[in-house]
Chain A
């Protein structure tokens, strides 16, 4: 009995001692949802953070409660700082309450910063145990600050949610998956380069306009929206994209792919000009076609046309990437995995000379309910 009392007493004392951990009560902190960084030259940036403010819409029952006691009063903070500075620390002194980055949804960089290099920003995020890995990154054509703080959107729903939802649903369709996770994979990995979607504010809404391709951490070029399908097709398997094919001038056919799969083969991986063979198979459905352009007999003919066209597009794309010396398709990684004792050091010299061969195998499995 005495033992018990002693034990209980000592544990109580200890627990009280340990009870000085700093809390972050859910409604007493400002939860940052989006960060935007604009480069203004000279290693200086304008940082912007937004946090949602959940002001309770008048609760029918709580007439006696008066104004919500804990609602936050600010929606965003913005200011200049140096590149690579943690924005949480930078704006803490302006914040109404403690800022927390644990629920960050999106991080935006403007093109200027992307050209300058994202090295410091990425290191910051990779070091932070709180930052979720499924957070989305994006490049903004224009100013991040304007995009995040504009008040002329159609609704007043926090903009971070809009951006994230937009990127996420694009990732399911034509755009290749781009989260912090995949960016870090390509950024730190050897023989590959990362990419990010490019977004832009257009009037009272946002739009995704293409894919920004990087050389390590530096922005190199932008892939326009209509080439992204080809890119994704060579990058990963997916099942929801839409490809618009102009088979003759002013005559379009749109394919909604039910399934694409890509496989790579490599020959002579250690020679000066390795041969890379990509084979793509597409199971597609036609959702839109120029009137009378397709029927049961013409199916195989169209298939052939599409195959030829896509293979040519793919080879053109890779050729362009080779010219720019960037490898967002992770071809180097494929060559490495197919080559024994892969010579990694000379790879960057050999990459532009590599021969890329692409074959596409399209099957139209459905043309809709009318002929």
Chain B
């Protein structure tokens, strides 16, 4: 892990402004020139590619060149800009310039300078969410700009209690990381843990929130994701209202939600826009899909290799006929198809969207049928594998979907070794691992263990909203109740007329 090593930070070695400017001058996009006016003359320096040139030429320079400016103090009065900084601190100057500020000095040797922020941010407009699509809910998604992202969240939580704490991570990159929470709801310990974990990071650069996720997770050897990352501002604000904490990194279009439990990875935000019966049914369907996806092909291997007794009599004939021209053992057959599907998925993800779609269809249909006709796999297996691949993608969270796709391989191998017993042992290891796993120090499989019945209301099923008056217990929020349960339920029971009344 090279970035943890304490190497010489190049930023610290330069001692003076002059040296810093000399260093910067070598870059063609660094502009450094002397302005000679009637009343006032100064040195102006900035990085052309970082500042908003239009703003500089239209507003800043005319103001500077005007006759009203006599000294550097006057600039503040004249300029139509806020947040002017006067400083001698080299590191502040340095980061100011590199963030897109304009530096003004009275002479080439003066140590004090004025920093005028005029940064230009290249950012794409807010677009539709792509990895977590929704049909009924809002379609906005985060973009790469931190300001826009916070704007999206703030507009959904218009209260002064929403706190945004900004941290800088990375020795060199100094990436801005914002920690968002609602004061009074979010648990203080959790906030401290998050801030401590982020500020304790020893790293040179932080490019995206995924890197941050990998560095602050509780157990970074686990294949299970421990925090939800989402690109949907509505989901983040929902979580903030629940008392969770969101972390946004400048330059990446998604937010981390901490802490998370395993059931949240299987709930889509769309669930909250459906009637509770439908939402619960679809959650159960998802749960079934995950079970099916993980267990189906190992079960195929186990049944066909060891436990032919379990197969119903009438299915037996179908299975034997479909396998009669396959020369391999079930395990080889399954691995062959599983790896083929994995390849298709990976190829589809790497290729441009349109080519990717074609690859999916061509690969799925052509290779699938061809391998059955060629007699290297049985067609029943093809159905099973295709269904389980489909089921794996039902998971709303991409990270979890990847985990689920990968986790079946140890299951397949143990099914080959010990049959159903092997699957059971593998499942047991998996579950015990989940039991030991924590997310921000909170148990990962929370509503199940420790058993909290109130939290079960929004886990495998989603009960009606009037029953969900409490925030999740495991968060130990400052305010336990979302709404007063009596008042929520009173409205319904107020007037219950008799038939035809």
Contacts and interface: CB of A to CB of B under 8 A. Distances in A.
B308 A62 contact: no
B324 A25 contact: no
Interface in B301-340: 303-306, 308-309, 311, 313, 316-317, 319-321, 323-327, 329-330
Contacts of A122: none
Interface stretch (A14-22, A237-245, A283-291): A14-22
Interface in A206-241: none
Contacts of A21: 306, 417-419
A70 interface: yes
Nearest to A33: B313
A26 B319 contact: yes
Contacts of B327: 69-70
A71 interface: yes
Contacts of A66: 325, 375
Interface stretch (A35-43, A97-105, A196-204, A317-325): A97-105
Interface string A53-97: 011100101111110111100000000000000000000000000
Given A18-B417, A23-B306, A26-B319, A56 B324 contact: yes
Given A18-B418, A21-B419, A26-B304, A103 B324 contact: no
Interface stretch (B102-110, B366-374, B392-400, B469-477): B366-374
B221 interface: yes
Nearest to A131: B309
Given A24-B306, A25-B305, A54 B373 contact: no
B414 interface: yes
Given A26-B319, A61-B372, A65-B373, A100 B313 contact: no
B490 to A, nearest CB: 52
Nearest to B373: A61
A15 B323 contact: no
Q: Is the interface of A mostly helix, strand, loop or mixed?
A: loop
- Counting chain B CB atoms within 10 Å of each CB, the highest count among A18, A27, A70 belongs to A27
A133 B221 CA distance: 47
A65 B375 contact: yes
A103 B303 CA distance: 13
A103 B321 contact: no
A15 B417 contact: yes
Contacts of A102: 308-309
Interface in A102-123: 102-103, 105
Nearest to B319: A26
Interface string B413-443: 1101111000000000000000000000000
A31 B316 contact: yes
A75 to B, nearest CB: 14
A64 B324 contact: no
Contacts of B374: 64-65
Pick from B316, B324, B326, B372 the residue with the most CB of A within 10 Å. Answer: B324
A69 B329 CA distance: 12
Nearest to B426: A15
B221 A68 contact: no
Interface in B358-410: 369, 372-375
Given A27-B324, A56-B324, A100 B369 contact: no
Nearest to B322: A56
A317 B211 CA distance: 85
Given A4-B221, A62-B373, A25 B330 contact: yes
B309 A15 contact: no
A52 B323 contact: no
A68 B417 contact: no
Nearest to B413: A15
B4 to A, nearest CB: 14
A147 to B, nearest CB: 20
Contact of A68 (B324, B373, B413, B416): B324
Contacts of B369: 61
A130 interface: yes
A52 B320 CA distance: 11
A62 B305 contact: no
A57 to B, nearest CB: 8
A12 to B, nearest CB: 10
A29 B308 contact: yes
Nearest to A57: B321
A26 B419 CA distance: 13
A235 B197 CA distance: 75
A4 B433 CA distance: 13
Closest 8 CB pairs of A and B: A65-B375, A102-B309, A68-B324, A65-B325, A19-B417, A61-B373, A26-B304, A54-B320
Given A15-B414, A19-B418, A24-B305, 16 more contacts: A4-B221, A21-B418, A24-B308, A26-B305, A26-B316, A26-B320, A27-B324, A55-B324, A56-B321, A61-B369, A62-B373, A62-B375, A69-B324, A69-B326, A70-B324, A103-B308
12 contacts: A16-B417, A19-B418, A24-B308, A26-B303, A29-B308, A56-B324, A61-B369, A61-B372, A63-B373, A69-B375, A70-B326, A105-B313
